[in-house]
């Protein structure tokens, strides 16, 4: 079953993307070439260039960030309570319709 994710890029433009359960939120974003998601380390939680803010309604449904991700997020430029590194967010059917705001800058 497909999952729909709505990305809002740093310019405010919405992009509705069809994703697949099991892939990461970052993979869904890069496959759709969402502006602002660089993901230069390819999903290894080392570059902090796939930083997103997850809409509160869905944030609680995500598996919590592990210590490594939390430490890395704390070192981004604009961490917020609903910040995640999208490479560390596996997609599930429960996340259908999730709204994700791409961080204004990854550097």
| Interface residues toward another protein, by CB under 8 A | 33, 35, 38, 40-42, 44, 46-49, 68, 71-72, 74-77, 105-107
- To another protein, the closest distance from the beta carbon of 46 in angstroms equals 6
Residue among 39 and 95 whose Cβ is closer to another protein: 39
Residue among 27 and 49 whose Cβ is closer to another protein: 49
User: Alpha-carbon distance 30 to 35, whole Å?
Assistant: 9
Distance of CA 53 to the CA centre of its chain: 7
């Amino acid at each position: 079953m497909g999952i729909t994710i709505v990305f809002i890029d740093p310019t405010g433009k919405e992009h509705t993307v069809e994703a697949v359960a099991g892939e990461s939120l970052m993979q869904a974003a890069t496959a759709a070439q969402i502006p602002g998601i660089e993901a230069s380390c390819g999903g290894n939680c080392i570059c902090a260039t796939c930083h997103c803010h997850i809409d509160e309604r869905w944030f609680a449904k995500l598996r919590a960030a592990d210590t490594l991700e939390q430490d890395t997020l704390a070192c981004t430029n604009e961490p917020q309570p609903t910040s995640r590194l999208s490479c560390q967010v596996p997609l599930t059917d429960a996340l259908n319709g999730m709204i994700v705001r791409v961080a204004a800058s990854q550097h």
